[in-house]
Amino acid sequence: MHMRAMVLEAFGGTLRLETRPVPEPGPGEVLVRVVACGAGLTLESIRLGHLGGSTPRILGHEYSGTIAALGVGVEGWQEGDAVTGSFYLFCGNCVMCASGRETLCLNNKGNIGAKIDGAFADYVVVPARNLVRIPTGVVLREAGIIADAVATPYHIARERARIIAGQRVAVIGAGGGVGIHMLQMAKAFGAFVIAVERDAAKLRRLQDVVPDALIDASESDWQTSLSQVAEGQLDVCIDFVGSPETTSKGLAALGRGGTFVIAGSMPYLRSDKNAVISVAPMYMVNKELSILGTRYATRAEIARSLELVCDGKIKPIIGAAFPLEQAEVAFEAIRQNQVFGRMLIDCTN
């Protein structure tokens, strides 16, 4: 039995279609028949080798599908179950995993789609402990996107920024695949939400997502506009771009006691030279500011995010969808920042 797979032959290269044998699940693993797989900037980081792993490799980690086979020793699951899951290869046993912080696993072995083959294929093998059940009421093909692009904002809102109803919250890179869902999540937590975006087409479309205010980041002095819209008291600023400009201007716009959350950086900025955040210590002291990092989401947070979508609190926004064979076209669209919302690769076409 064979399957289609989009394979990255070498870091920095392009994806190409291959026919491969369907893999068999080992002990503690499951074989998932992939329905769809989301695609975002993390994949570009993997393609460039920034997240480690090895090649040749089948990429793709925002998977949703149904269990096709169980490995030896797998309990609590059965064939046909609708699943998505974490893409971190966490151990499940260290102090971080045991305390519910599996994204900080001390024995993390890497990522699905980087260290082991991913879901840009008809089938993928994943550890059973990674799985999260998809509830009835969630569209199956959208669940993988929810597991990343919605669950990450949930982790930020609940655990990192700890957004409180009535706070003023800005999202930099609001038109991107995660940023667009962060807007909705902050609104669900009761915040006054400000979208910051530099792409004119995305700015126009953001009006339909109903943020409370829009800031055009193509303007040179946009941090002043951001501070003014927040009436001088921007409580939380969440940066999905992570460039020297966005970090410096985002920090400058914060009000007293504000929190700046670093949610990522553009793949081409992954170097010590470009990634430095420069801020005067007394500026931090006098305004009592906080700078926080944030990293993905746990399985429990993925499950809660699926429930929020099921309850209608959050709506997954898919900007474009491509069949599996056109995954490289999707990659180019991601590299060119052309997509509003999240990209989806359909694996059943």
Residue 340: predicted pLDDT: 86
pLDDT at 302: 98
Tell me the HSE value of 155 on the side-chain side, using a 13 A CA sphere: 27
Q: What pTM was computed for the model?
A: 0.94
Let me know if residue 231 belongs to a domain: yes
The DSSP line for 311-342 is TTS----EEEEEEGGGHHHHHHHHHTT--SSE
Nearest residue to 333 (alpha-carbon basis) of 181, 218, 176, 209: 176
Same domain for 80 and 37: yes
What is the per-residue pLDDT across 243-254, written as a single tens digit (0 to 9) for each? 889 999 999 999
Q: How far apart are CA 228 and CA 225, in angstroms?
A: 5
Domain at 75, CATH number: 3.90.180.10
Residue 298 in any domain: the answer is no
Based on the fold, state whether residues 288 and 159 are members of the same structural domain. Answer: yes
Query: Is the confidence at residue 298, as pLDDT, over 50?
Result: yes
Query: What is the per-residue pLDDT for 159?
Result: 96
Q: What is the DSSP letter of 116?
A: B
159 and 286, same domain (yes or no)? yes
Q: The domain containing residue 162 runs over which residues?
A: 154-293
pLDDT at 129: 96
Q: Does 304 fall in a domain?
A: no
We report the CATH number of the domain holding residue 270 as: 3.40.50.720
| 88 plus 215 within the same structural domain | no
Residue 303 lies in a domain: no
Query: What one-letter code names the amino acid at 293?
Result: G
Across 184-209, average pLDDT: 94
Place of tokens 């998932």: 32
What is the helix, strand, coil percentage profile of the chain, to 5?
35, 30, 40
Task: Identify whether 299 is part of a domain.
Answer: no
Is residue 124 located within the same domain as residue 235? no
Q: What is the pLDDT of residue 345?
A: 96
| Co-location of 171 and 287 in the same domain | yes
Are residues 24 and 97 both part of a single domain?
yes
121 lies in a domain?
yes
Look at residue 232 in the predicted model and tell me its pLDDT. Answer: 92
Query: In which band, very low, low, confident or very high, does the pLDDT at 274 lie, cut at 50, 70 and 90?
Result: low
Q: Is the pLDDT of residue 272 over 50?
A: no
Contact 149, 183 (CB under 8 A): no
- For residues 19 and 3, the answer to whether their CB atoms sit within 8 Å is yes
Same domain membership, residue 289 and residue 158: yes
pLDDT at 50: 87
pLDDT score at 35: 98
DSSP string covering 246-303: HHHHHHHHEEEEEEEEE----GGG-SHHHH-----HHHHHHHT-EEEE-----HHHHH
Q: Strand, helix or coil at 223?
A: helix
In a domain, 252, yes or no: yes
Judgement on whether residues 245 and 207 belong to the same structural domain of the protein: yes
Q: What is the pLDDT of residues 46-75, one digit of tens each?
A: 999 988 899 999 999 999 999 999 999 999
Give how many domains the chain has, as a whole number: 2
- Percent of the chain at pLDDT > 70 equals 97
pLDDT at 322: 95
pLDDT in tens, 109-123: 999 999 999 999 999
pLDDT at position 266 is: 66
Per the prediction, the chain carries an average pLDDT of 93
3-state SS assignment for residue 94: coil
**pLDDT confidence of 208, banded at 50, 70, 90?**
confident
Mind spelling out the 3-state secondary structure of 30-88? EEEEEEEEEECHHHHHHHCCCCCCCCCEECCCEEEEEEEEECCCCCCCCCCCEEEECCE
Render the burial of 81-98: b for 16+ CB within 10 Å, e for the rest.
bbbbbbbbbbbeebebbe
80-104 mean pLDDT: 96
Residues 126 and 27 in one domain: yes
Residue 302 lies inside a defined structural domain of this protein: no
- Could you give the percent of the chain with pLDDT greater than 90? 84
Q: Model confidence over 3-29: pLDDT tens digits?
A: 999 999 999 999 999 999 999 999 999
ω into 27 cis (within 30 of 0): no
Shared domain for 12 and 121, answered yes or no, is: yes
Contact between 6 and 59 (Cβ < 8 Å): yes
Domain check: are 67 and 188 in the same one? no
Q: Report whether 145 contacts 137 (CB < 8 A).
A: no
In 3-state terms, what secondary structure has residue 345? strand
